[in-house]
Amino acid sequence: MYILGIETSCDETALALIETRDFGDTFECRVISSLIHSQAELHSPYGGVFPTLAKREHEKNLPLLLKELMATNSTVHIDAIAVTEGPGLEPALWTGIVFAEQLAKEWNVPIIPVNHMEGHVIGSLLKSDAPQGEWQSLLPLNMPALALLISGGHTELVKIEHGEEQARDTSSESRGPEPAKRPQALSYTIIGQTKDDAVGEAFDKTARLLGIPYPGGPRLSALAQEARSEKIESPVKLPRPMISSKDLDFSFSGLKTAVLYAVRDAEAAGKLDTSFKKGLAREFEDAVIETLSAKLRKAIDQVGAHTIIIGGGVSANTSLRAQCEAIAAEYGIPLYQPSRHISGDNALMIALAGAFNTPVNRALKAHGTKRLGN
Stretch 138-167 residues interacting with ligand KG4 (CB under 6 A) = 151-153
Q: Does 344 bind ligand KG4 (CB under 6 A)?
A: yes
Of 75, 95, 135, the residue nearest 7 (C-alpha): 95
Span from 13-21, 98-106, 134-142, 200-208 in contact with ligand KG4 (CB under 6 A): 200-208
Q: Which does 317 bind (CB under 5 to 8 A by kind): Zn ion, ligand KG4, none?
A: ligand KG4
Q: Does 314 bind ligand KG4 (CB under 6 A)?
A: yes
Residue whose CB is nearest to ligand KG4 in the complex, by number: 313
Span from 121-129, 268-276, 314-322, 359-367 in contact with ligand KG4 (CB under 6 A): 314-322
Q: Does 10 bind ligand KG4 (CB under 6 A)?
A: yes
Residue whose CB is nearest to Zn ion in the complex, by number: 151
Span from 13-21, 106-114, 127-135, 211-219 in contact with ligand KG4 (CB under 6 A): 211-219
Asked if residues 280 and 212 have their Cβ atoms less than 8 Å apart, the reply is no
Q: Does 13 bind Zn ion (CB under 5 A)?
A: no
| Strand positions, DSSP E, the chain | 2-7, 12-22, 27-38, 80-86, 111-115, 136-137, 145-150, 155-162, 186-193, 307-311, 335-336
Stretch 300-359 residues interacting with Zn ion (CB under 5 A) = 345
ω into 113 cis (within 30 of 0): no
Binding test (CB under 6 A) with ligand KG4, winner from 204, 249, 283, 286 = 204
Three-state DSSP state, 148: strand
ω into 144 cis (within 30 of 0): yes
> Could you give the angle at which helices 217-229 and 199-209 cross, rounded to 10 degrees?
70
- Residue 106, judged by CB atoms within 10 A of its CB (0-12, 13-18, 19+), counts as exposed
Binding test (CB under 5 A) with Zn ion, winner from 20, 33, 115, 151 = 151
Which strands sit side by side in the sheet containing 27-38, from one edge to the other? 111-115, 80-86, 2-7, 12-22, 27-38, 136-137
Asked if residues 28 and 182 have their Cβ atoms less than 8 Å apart, the reply is no
Q: Which of 13, 151 has the CB closer to Zn ion?
A: 151
Asked if residues 263 and 280 have their Cβ atoms less than 8 Å apart, the reply is yes
| Torsion from C-alpha of 159, 160, 162, 165, nearest 10 degrees | 100
Asked if residues 241 and 250 have their Cβ atoms less than 8 Å apart, the reply is yes
Span from 161-169, 189-197, 213-221, 332-340 in contact with ligand KG4 (CB under 6 A): 213-221
Q: Which of 19, 156 has the CB closer to ligand KG4?
A: 156
Q: Does 8 bind Zn ion (CB under 5 A)?
A: no
Q: Which of 73, 253 has the CB closer to ligand KG4?
A: 253
Binding site for Zn ion (CB under 5 A): 151, 345
Binding site for ligand KG4 (CB under 6 A): 10, 151-153, 200-201, 203-204, 215, 217-218, 221, 312-314, 316-317, 344-345
